[in-house]
Protein backbone atom coordinates (compact mmCIF):
# COMPACT_ATOMS: atom_id res chain seq x y z
CA UNK A 1 0.00 0.00 0.00
CA UNK A 2 1.28 3.36 -0.87
CA UNK A 3 1.57 5.70 2.04
CA UNK A 4 -0.26 9.00 1.83
CA UNK A 5 2.05 11.92 2.48
CA UNK A 6 0.50 14.60 4.57
CA UNK A 7 0.96 18.16 3.42
CA UNK A 8 3.60 20.13 5.25
CA UNK A 9 1.90 22.74 7.42
CA UNK A 10 4.25 25.43 8.67
CA UNK A 11 3.48 26.72 12.13
CA UNK A 12 3.02 30.52 12.01
CA UNK A 13 5.65 32.64 13.70
CA UNK A 14 4.04 34.62 16.52
CA UNK A 15 7.21 35.97 18.07
CA UNK A 16 6.69 39.52 16.83
CA UNK A 17 3.07 39.53 18.02
CA UNK A 18 4.11 38.13 21.38
CA UNK A 19 6.74 40.84 21.81
CA UNK A 20 4.08 43.44 20.99
CA UNK A 21 1.72 42.10 23.69
CA UNK A 22 4.49 41.79 26.28
CA UNK A 23 5.54 45.38 25.62
CA UNK A 24 2.03 46.61 26.32
CA UNK A 25 1.78 44.50 29.47
CA UNK A 26 4.44 46.74 30.99
CA UNK A 27 1.82 49.47 31.57
CA UNK A 28 -0.62 47.48 33.79
CA UNK A 29 2.27 45.89 35.68
CA UNK A 30 3.72 49.32 36.45
CA UNK A 31 0.23 50.41 37.55
CA UNK A 32 0.10 47.45 39.92
CA UNK A 33 3.49 48.30 41.42
CA UNK A 34 2.65 51.99 41.68
CA UNK A 35 -0.74 51.44 43.32
CA UNK A 36 0.74 49.00 45.82
CA UNK A 37 3.57 51.34 46.78
CA UNK A 38 1.27 54.35 47.02
CA UNK A 39 -1.66 52.86 48.94
CA UNK A 40 0.32 50.63 51.27
CA UNK A 41 2.94 53.33 51.78
CA UNK A 42 0.28 55.89 52.68
CA UNK A 43 -2.18 53.81 54.71
CA UNK A 44 -0.09 51.09 56.37
CA UNK A 45 0.79 51.63 60.05
CA UNK A 46 -1.06 54.92 60.66
CA UNK A 47 0.02 56.66 63.84
CA UNK A 48 -0.18 60.23 65.15
CA UNK A 49 2.55 62.68 64.18
CA UNK A 50 2.29 65.92 66.19
CA UNK A 51 -1.49 65.59 66.27
CA UNK A 52 -2.85 68.82 67.82
CA UNK A 53 -5.20 68.27 70.78
CA UNK A 54 -6.12 70.37 73.80
CA UNK A 55 -6.88 70.05 77.49
CA UNK A 56 -9.43 72.60 78.67
CA UNK A 57 -8.75 74.34 81.96
CA UNK A 58 -6.58 76.98 83.59
CA UNK A 59 -5.19 75.55 86.83
CA UNK A 60 -2.02 73.68 87.62
CA UNK A 61 -3.90 70.38 87.38
CA UNK A 62 -4.63 71.14 83.70
CA UNK A 63 -0.97 71.87 82.98
CA UNK A 64 0.16 68.68 84.71
CA UNK A 65 -2.36 66.55 82.79
CA UNK A 66 -1.39 68.11 79.45
CA UNK A 67 2.30 67.52 80.11
CA UNK A 68 1.64 63.94 81.23
CA UNK A 69 -0.32 63.14 78.04
CA UNK A 70 2.38 64.73 75.88
CA UNK A 71 5.18 62.76 77.59
CA UNK A 72 3.37 59.44 77.12
CA UNK A 73 2.78 60.17 73.41
CA UNK A 74 6.54 60.54 72.70
CA UNK A 75 6.00 63.27 70.11
CA UNK A 76 2.86 61.79 68.59
CA UNK A 77 0.66 64.49 70.10
CA UNK A 78 0.94 68.25 70.19
CA UNK A 79 -0.88 68.92 73.47
CA UNK A 80 -1.88 72.46 74.40
CA UNK A 81 -4.09 73.97 77.07
CA UNK A 82 -7.17 76.04 76.31
CA UNK A 83 -8.82 78.35 78.82
CA UNK A 84 -12.47 77.62 78.12
CA UNK A 85 -14.79 75.16 76.42
CA UNK A 86 -16.01 77.86 74.02
CA UNK A 87 -12.44 78.56 72.91
CA UNK A 88 -11.88 74.84 72.33
CA UNK A 89 -15.02 74.62 70.19
CA UNK A 90 -13.80 77.58 68.13
CA UNK A 91 -10.41 75.94 67.52
CA UNK A 92 -12.12 72.70 66.52
CA UNK A 93 -14.25 74.53 63.98
CA UNK A 94 -11.13 76.19 62.59
CA UNK A 95 -9.45 72.74 62.53
CA UNK A 96 -6.58 74.03 64.64
CA UNK A 97 -7.08 71.06 66.98
CA UNK A 98 -8.82 67.71 66.49
CA UNK A 99 -9.90 66.95 70.03
CA UNK A 100 -10.40 68.85 73.29
CA UNK A 101 -10.58 67.17 76.70
CA UNK A 102 -12.69 69.03 79.25
CA UNK A 103 -11.69 67.78 82.70
CA UNK A 104 -14.65 69.14 84.66
CA UNK A 105 -17.51 69.46 82.20
CA UNK A 106 -20.84 70.27 83.88
CA UNK A 107 -23.21 67.32 84.00
CA UNK A 108 -25.77 69.09 81.82
CA UNK A 109 -23.24 70.00 79.11
CA UNK A 110 -23.89 72.43 76.27
CA UNK A 111 -26.38 70.43 74.30
CA UNK A 112 -26.65 66.71 73.90
CA UNK A 113 -23.65 64.86 72.53
CA UNK A 114 -23.82 63.67 68.98
CA UNK A 115 -22.76 60.19 69.93
CA UNK A 116 -20.77 58.10 72.31
CA UNK A 117 -18.94 54.84 71.95
CA UNK A 118 -16.55 52.58 73.77
CA UNK A 119 -18.34 53.00 77.09
CA UNK A 120 -18.77 56.75 76.81
CA UNK A 121 -21.93 58.22 78.25
CA UNK A 122 -23.78 61.54 78.28
CA UNK A 123 -24.69 63.07 81.62
CA UNK A 124 -28.02 64.78 81.92
CA UNK A 125 -29.35 67.43 84.30
CA UNK A 126 -28.32 67.48 87.96
CA UNK A 127 -30.32 64.99 89.95
CA UNK A 128 -32.24 63.76 86.90
CA UNK A 129 -30.93 60.24 87.33
CA UNK A 130 -31.85 59.93 90.99
CA UNK A 131 -34.44 57.35 91.86
CA UNK A 132 -37.67 57.83 93.84
CA UNK A 133 -37.49 58.49 97.56
CA UNK A 134 -34.08 60.18 97.32
CA UNK A 135 -32.14 57.11 96.20
CA UNK A 136 -28.44 57.51 95.38
CA UNK A 137 -27.28 58.46 91.87
CA UNK A 138 -25.58 55.81 89.71
CA UNK A 139 -21.98 54.93 90.40
CA UNK A 140 -20.86 57.00 87.40
CA UNK A 141 -21.81 60.16 89.31
CA UNK A 142 -20.22 60.48 92.69
CA UNK A 143 -21.78 62.83 95.22
CA UNK A 144 -19.44 65.53 96.38
CA UNK A 145 -20.57 68.31 98.69
CA UNK A 146 -24.23 67.58 98.02
CA UNK A 147 -23.86 67.94 94.20
CA UNK A 148 -23.10 65.74 91.23
CA UNK A 149 -19.47 65.24 90.29
CA UNK A 150 -18.63 66.67 86.88
CA UNK A 151 -17.88 64.10 84.17
CA UNK A 152 -15.00 64.55 81.72
CA UNK A 153 -16.02 65.49 78.19
CA UNK A 154 -14.26 65.06 74.85
CA UNK A 155 -15.06 67.52 72.06
CA UNK A 156 -14.50 66.36 68.46
CA UNK A 157 -15.44 67.49 64.95
CA UNK A 158 -16.03 64.30 62.99
CA UNK A 159 -16.95 66.14 59.76
CA UNK A 160 -13.25 66.99 59.45
CA UNK A 161 -12.27 63.33 59.77
CA UNK A 162 -14.20 60.48 61.33
CA UNK A 163 -10.97 58.49 61.59
CA UNK A 164 -9.30 61.32 63.49
CA UNK A 165 -12.25 61.58 65.89
CA UNK A 166 -11.93 57.85 66.62
CA UNK A 167 -8.18 58.14 67.22
CA UNK A 168 -8.64 61.06 69.60
CA UNK A 169 -11.34 59.18 71.50
CA UNK A 170 -9.00 56.20 71.97
CA UNK A 171 -6.36 58.55 73.34
CA UNK A 172 -8.59 60.22 75.96
CA UNK A 173 -10.81 57.31 77.05
CA UNK A 174 -8.06 55.91 79.37
CA UNK A 175 -7.48 59.43 80.73
CA UNK A 176 -11.15 59.68 81.71
CA UNK A 177 -11.02 56.21 83.25
CA UNK A 178 -8.34 57.48 85.66
CA UNK A 179 -10.86 60.06 86.88
CA UNK A 180 -13.31 57.26 87.65
CA UNK A 181 -15.99 58.55 85.31
CA UNK A 182 -17.26 57.63 81.84
CA UNK A 183 -16.20 59.87 78.97
CA UNK A 184 -18.87 62.01 77.37
CA UNK A 185 -18.20 62.60 73.65
CA UNK A 186 -19.66 65.70 71.98
CA UNK A 187 -19.44 66.20 68.22
CA UNK A 188 -19.40 69.95 67.54
CA UNK A 189 -19.36 69.51 63.73
CA UNK A 190 -21.12 66.30 62.70
CA UNK A 191 -21.37 65.31 59.01
CA UNK A 192 -24.59 65.15 57.02
CA UNK A 193 -27.17 62.62 58.17
CA UNK A 194 -26.79 60.56 54.96
CA UNK A 195 -23.00 60.59 55.24
CA UNK A 196 -22.42 59.39 58.82
CA UNK A 197 -18.69 58.68 58.39
CA UNK A 198 -18.00 61.96 56.59
CA UNK A 199 -16.08 60.11 53.86
CA UNK A 200 -18.69 60.65 51.15
CA UNK A 201 -16.88 63.77 49.92
CA UNK A 202 -13.69 61.75 49.48
CA UNK A 203 -15.44 59.13 47.36
CA UNK A 204 -17.10 61.92 45.41
CA UNK A 205 -13.58 63.14 44.60
CA UNK A 206 -12.69 59.61 43.47
CA UNK A 207 -15.65 59.56 41.04
CA UNK A 208 -14.80 62.99 39.62
CA UNK A 209 -11.13 61.99 39.27
CA UNK A 210 -11.92 58.83 37.33
CA UNK A 211 -14.29 60.66 35.01
CA UNK A 212 -11.59 63.26 34.39
CA UNK A 213 -8.46 61.20 33.81
CA UNK A 214 -10.35 58.55 31.80
CA UNK A 215 -11.56 61.33 29.48
CA UNK A 216 -7.94 62.36 28.95
CA UNK A 217 -7.27 59.04 27.20
CA UNK A 218 -10.19 59.61 24.82
CA UNK A 219 -9.37 63.24 24.02
CA UNK A 220 -5.68 62.48 23.61
CA UNK A 221 -6.11 59.24 21.64
CA UNK A 222 -9.21 59.56 19.46
CA UNK A 223 -8.80 63.34 19.32
CA UNK A 224 -5.11 63.33 18.42
CA UNK A 225 -5.93 64.46 14.86
CA UNK A 226 -7.56 67.64 16.18
CA UNK A 227 -5.66 70.88 16.80
CA UNK A 228 -4.50 71.38 20.38
CA UNK A 229 -6.89 74.32 20.89
CA UNK A 230 -9.88 72.12 20.06
CA UNK A 231 -8.63 69.40 22.41
CA UNK A 232 -8.27 72.01 25.16
CA UNK A 233 -11.84 73.19 24.51
CA UNK A 234 -13.04 69.59 24.72
CA UNK A 235 -11.20 69.21 28.03
CA UNK A 236 -12.87 72.29 29.50
CA UNK A 237 -16.30 71.19 28.26
CA UNK A 238 -15.84 67.66 29.57
CA UNK A 239 -14.81 69.00 32.99
CA UNK A 240 -18.05 70.99 33.11
CA UNK A 241 -20.09 67.82 32.48
CA UNK A 242 -18.08 65.80 35.02
CA UNK A 243 -18.52 68.50 37.68
CA UNK A 244 -22.27 68.65 37.11
CA UNK A 245 -22.52 64.85 37.46
CA UNK A 246 -20.51 65.02 40.69
CA UNK A 247 -22.75 67.78 42.08
CA UNK A 248 -25.87 65.76 41.30
CA UNK A 249 -24.38 62.79 43.14
CA UNK A 250 -23.51 64.95 46.15
CA UNK A 251 -26.88 66.64 46.37
CA UNK A 252 -30.11 65.25 44.90
CA UNK A 253 -28.95 61.64 44.43
CA UNK A 254 -27.11 60.67 47.63
CA UNK A 255 -27.61 63.76 49.87
CA UNK A 256 -23.97 63.92 50.93
CA UNK A 257 -24.44 67.65 51.50
CA UNK A 258 -27.61 69.55 52.28
CA UNK A 259 -26.42 73.06 51.39
CA UNK A 260 -23.70 74.89 49.48
CA UNK A 261 -24.09 72.94 46.23
CA UNK A 262 -23.02 75.91 44.07
CA UNK A 263 -19.76 76.18 45.94
CA UNK A 264 -19.22 72.44 45.70
CA UNK A 265 -19.86 72.53 41.94
CA UNK A 266 -17.36 75.38 41.50
CA UNK A 267 -14.60 73.44 43.25
CA UNK A 268 -15.51 70.26 41.36
CA UNK A 269 -15.18 72.12 38.06
CA UNK A 270 -11.80 73.66 39.02
CA UNK A 271 -10.57 70.24 40.14
CA UNK A 272 -11.75 68.36 37.02
CA UNK A 273 -10.59 71.03 34.57
CA UNK A 274 -7.10 71.00 36.07
CA UNK A 275 -6.80 67.23 35.62
CA UNK A 276 -8.14 67.25 32.05
CA UNK A 277 -5.97 70.12 30.85
CA UNK A 278 -2.80 68.73 32.42
CA UNK A 279 -3.51 65.27 31.00
CA UNK A 280 -4.35 66.60 27.53
CA UNK A 281 -1.10 68.55 27.45
CA UNK A 282 0.92 65.58 28.70
CA UNK A 283 -0.45 63.35 25.93
CA UNK A 284 1.58 65.31 23.39
CA UNK A 285 4.75 64.04 25.06
CA UNK A 286 3.77 60.73 26.72
CA UNK A 287 1.52 59.25 23.98
CA UNK A 288 0.46 55.76 25.05
CA UNK A 289 2.11 56.25 28.45
CA UNK A 290 -0.34 59.06 29.25
CA UNK A 291 -2.69 56.77 31.18
CA UNK A 292 0.11 55.65 33.47
CA UNK A 293 1.26 59.25 33.90
CA UNK A 294 -2.14 60.65 34.89
CA UNK A 295 -2.81 57.68 37.18
CA UNK A 296 0.45 58.37 39.00
CA UNK A 297 -0.45 62.04 39.42
CA UNK A 298 -4.17 61.84 40.11
CA UNK A 299 -4.64 58.43 41.71
CA UNK A 300 -1.46 57.10 43.29
CA UNK A 301 -0.27 60.39 44.77
CA UNK A 302 -3.66 62.10 44.84
CA UNK A 303 -6.08 59.73 46.58
CA UNK A 304 -3.48 58.81 49.20
CA UNK A 305 -2.72 62.41 50.21
CA UNK A 306 -6.26 63.86 50.03
CA UNK A 307 -7.05 63.28 53.70
CA UNK A 308 -10.18 61.28 52.95
CA UNK A 309 -9.10 58.10 54.75
CA UNK A 310 -6.34 59.38 57.06
CA UNK A 311 -5.45 62.99 57.64
CA UNK A 312 -1.78 63.93 57.19
CA UNK A 313 -1.29 63.92 61.00
CA UNK A 314 -1.65 60.12 60.83
CA UNK A 315 0.59 59.60 57.76
CA UNK A 316 4.30 59.55 57.08
CA UNK A 317 6.16 62.71 56.08
CA UNK A 318 6.00 62.21 52.30
CA UNK A 319 2.22 61.95 51.96
CA UNK A 320 1.67 64.47 54.76
CA UNK A 321 3.71 67.03 52.80
CA UNK A 322 1.73 66.34 49.58
CA UNK A 323 -1.47 67.14 51.46
CA UNK A 324 -0.38 70.77 51.73
CA UNK A 325 -0.58 71.47 47.98
CA UNK A 326 -1.99 68.50 45.99
CA UNK A 327 -5.25 69.09 44.13
CA UNK A 328 -7.22 66.23 45.70
CA UNK A 329 -6.52 67.59 49.18
CA UNK A 330 -7.56 71.03 47.94
CA UNK A 331 -10.92 69.66 46.82
CA UNK A 332 -11.66 67.48 49.86
CA UNK A 333 -10.54 70.02 52.46
CA UNK A 334 -12.11 72.90 50.56
CA UNK A 335 -15.46 71.11 50.36
CA UNK A 336 -15.33 70.19 54.05
CA UNK A 337 -14.52 73.78 54.94
CA UNK A 338 -17.34 75.09 52.77
CA UNK A 339 -20.00 72.64 53.95
CA UNK A 340 -19.15 72.01 57.61
CA UNK A 341 -16.75 74.64 58.96
CA UNK A 342 -18.30 77.96 57.89
CA UNK A 343 -15.68 78.57 55.22
CA UNK A 344 -12.71 78.62 57.62
CA UNK A 345 -9.57 78.12 55.51
CA UNK A 346 -11.60 77.89 52.30
CA UNK A 347 -9.64 80.55 50.39
CA UNK A 348 -6.37 78.63 50.65
CA UNK A 349 -7.92 75.43 49.31
CA UNK A 350 -9.58 77.25 46.41
CA UNK A 351 -6.25 78.86 45.50
CA UNK A 352 -4.71 75.37 45.42
CA UNK A 353 -7.29 74.29 42.83
CA UNK A 354 -6.81 77.51 40.83
CA UNK A 355 -3.03 77.00 40.69
CA UNK A 356 -3.50 73.46 39.36
CA UNK A 357 -5.82 74.88 36.70
CA UNK A 358 -3.14 77.44 35.75
CA UNK A 359 -0.63 74.59 35.45
CA UNK A 360 -3.10 72.87 33.13
CA UNK A 361 -3.31 75.88 30.80
CA UNK A 362 0.48 76.22 30.90
CA UNK A 363 0.79 72.55 29.94
CA UNK A 364 -1.51 73.14 26.96
CA UNK A 365 0.68 76.07 25.89
CA UNK A 366 3.86 73.99 26.06
CA UNK A 367 2.19 71.18 24.12
CA UNK A 368 1.03 73.64 21.46
CA UNK A 369 4.57 74.93 20.95
CA UNK A 370 5.95 71.38 20.76
CA UNK A 371 3.36 70.29 18.19
CA UNK A 372 4.00 73.38 16.05
CA UNK A 373 7.72 72.62 16.08
CA UNK A 374 7.03 69.02 15.05
CA UNK A 375 4.83 70.17 12.17
CA UNK A 376 7.54 72.51 10.88
CA UNK A 377 10.15 69.77 11.13
CA UNK A 378 7.90 67.30 9.28
CA UNK A 379 7.18 69.84 6.52
CA UNK A 380 10.88 70.58 6.09
CA UNK A 381 11.70 66.86 5.95
CA UNK A 382 9.00 66.26 3.33
CA UNK A 383 10.26 69.17 1.23
CA UNK A 384 13.83 67.87 1.36
CA UNK A 385 12.68 64.36 0.42
CA UNK A 386 10.78 65.75 -2.56
CA UNK A 387 13.81 67.72 -3.71
CA UNK A 388 16.11 64.69 -3.43
CA UNK A 389 13.63 62.51 -5.32
CA UNK A 390 13.27 65.12 -8.06
CA UNK A 391 17.03 65.37 -8.44
CA UNK A 392 17.40 61.60 -8.66
CA UNK A 393 14.69 61.32 -11.32
CA UNK A 394 16.19 64.16 -13.32
CA UNK A 395 19.57 62.40 -13.37
CA UNK A 396 18.27 59.00 -14.54
CA UNK A 397 15.34 59.75 -16.89
CA UNK A 398 15.80 61.05 -20.46
CA UNK A 399 15.49 64.81 -20.87
CA UNK A 400 12.26 64.73 -22.83
CA UNK A 401 10.52 62.80 -20.08
CA UNK A 402 12.16 64.55 -17.16
CA UNK A 403 9.35 66.96 -16.40
CA UNK A 404 6.72 64.24 -16.57
CA UNK A 405 8.84 61.92 -14.44
CA UNK A 406 9.45 64.55 -11.86
CA UNK A 407 5.74 65.17 -11.57
CA UNK A 408 5.07 61.43 -11.33
CA UNK A 409 7.78 60.97 -8.74
CA UNK A 410 6.43 63.88 -6.74
CA UNK A 411 2.95 62.39 -6.82
CA UNK A 412 4.19 58.94 -5.81
CA UNK A 413 6.35 60.41 -3.06
CA UNK A 414 3.45 62.41 -1.73
CA UNK A 415 1.14 59.40 -1.84
CA UNK A 416 3.72 57.22 -0.16
CA UNK A 417 4.30 59.79 2.58
CA UNK A 418 0.56 60.12 3.13
CA UNK A 419 0.12 56.35 3.38
CA UNK A 420 3.04 56.15 5.78
CA UNK A 421 1.61 58.88 7.98
CA UNK A 422 -1.81 57.23 8.05
CA UNK A 423 -0.30 53.88 8.96
CA UNK A 424 1.75 55.46 11.71
CA UNK A 425 -1.27 57.29 13.07
CA UNK A 426 -3.33 54.10 13.04
CA UNK A 427 -0.61 52.23 14.90
CA UNK A 428 -0.29 54.95 17.52
CA UNK A 429 -4.05 55.02 18.01
CA UNK A 430 -4.10 51.27 18.51
CA UNK A 431 -1.26 51.46 21.01
CA UNK A 432 -3.10 54.22 22.83
CA UNK A 433 -6.20 52.07 23.08
CA UNK A 434 -4.14 49.17 24.44
CA UNK A 435 -2.48 51.50 26.89
CA UNK A 436 -5.87 52.66 28.16
Predicted pLDDT of residue 190: 95
pTM: 0.79
Q: How many Cα atoms within 13 Å fall on the side-chain side of residue 136?
A: 8
Dist CA 158 CA 164 (whole Å): 7
Dist CA 87 CA 378 (whole Å): 68
Q: What is the pLDDT of residues 296-346, one digit of tens each?
A: 999 999 999 999 999 999 999 999 999 999 999 999 999 999 999 999 999
359 burial level (CB within 10 Å; 0-12, 13-18, 19+): middle
pLDDT, greater one: 264 or 403: 264
Dist CA 57 CA 85 (whole Å): 8
Kindly report the backbone phi and psi dihedral angles of residue 47, in degrees, each rounded to the nearest multiple of 5, phi listed first.
Answer: -155, 150
148 pLDDT above the threshold of 50: yes
Contact between residue 290 and residue 235 where contact means Cβ atoms under 8 Å apart: no
Predicted pLDDT of residue 221: 85
436 pLDDT above the threshold of 80: no
Q: What is the pLDDT of residues 337-390, one digit of tens each?
A: 999 999 999 999 999 999 999 999 999 999 999 999 999 998 888 888 888 888
Q: What is the pLDDT of residues 250-285, one digit of tens each?
A: 999 999 998 999 999 999 999 999 999 999 999 999
Q: What is the helix, strand, coil percentage profile of the chain, to 5?
A: 65, 5, 30
**Window from 6-10, 58-62, 128-132, 328-332 with minimum mean pLDDT:** 128-132
Predicted pLDDT of residue 415: 56
Predicted pLDDT of residue 125: 35
Predicted pLDDT of residue 137: 34
Sign of CA dihedral 36, 290, 322, 201: negative
pLDDT band at 425 (very low <50, low <70, confident <90, very high): low
Predicted pLDDT of residue 403: 53
Predicted pLDDT of residue 24: 85
Predicted pLDDT of residue 140: 37
Q: What is the pLDDT of residues 195-252, one digit of tens each?
A: 999 999 999 999 999 999 999 989 988 888 999 999 999 999 999 999 999 999 999 9
Percent with pLDDT over 70 in the chain: 78
pLDDT band at 193 (very low <50, low <70, confident <90, very high): very high
Predicted pLDDT of residue 368: 95
Q: What is the pLDDT of residues 56-93, one digit of tens each?
A: 998 899 999 999 999 999 889 999 999 999 999 999 99
Predicted pLDDT of residue 343: 95
Contact between residue 314 and residue 171 where contact means Cβ atoms under 8 Å apart: no
45 pLDDT above the threshold of 50: yes
Predicted pLDDT of residue 33: 95
- Beta strands of 12-170 (E only): which ranges? 51-56, 77-82, 100-105, 143-144, 147-148, 151-156
Amino acid sequence: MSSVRRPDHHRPDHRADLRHVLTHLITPLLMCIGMGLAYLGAFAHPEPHHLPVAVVGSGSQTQVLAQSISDKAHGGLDVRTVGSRAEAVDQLKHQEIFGAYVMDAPASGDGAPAGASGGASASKGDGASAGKGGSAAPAASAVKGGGTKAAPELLVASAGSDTMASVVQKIFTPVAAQQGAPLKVTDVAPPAEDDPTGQGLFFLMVAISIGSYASVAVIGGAGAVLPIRLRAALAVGTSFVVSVIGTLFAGPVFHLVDHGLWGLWSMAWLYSAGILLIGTGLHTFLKRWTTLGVMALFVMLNFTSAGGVFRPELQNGFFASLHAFWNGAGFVEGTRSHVYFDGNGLAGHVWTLVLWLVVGFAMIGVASLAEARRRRAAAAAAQNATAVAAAAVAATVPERRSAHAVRSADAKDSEHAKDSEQAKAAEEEMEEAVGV
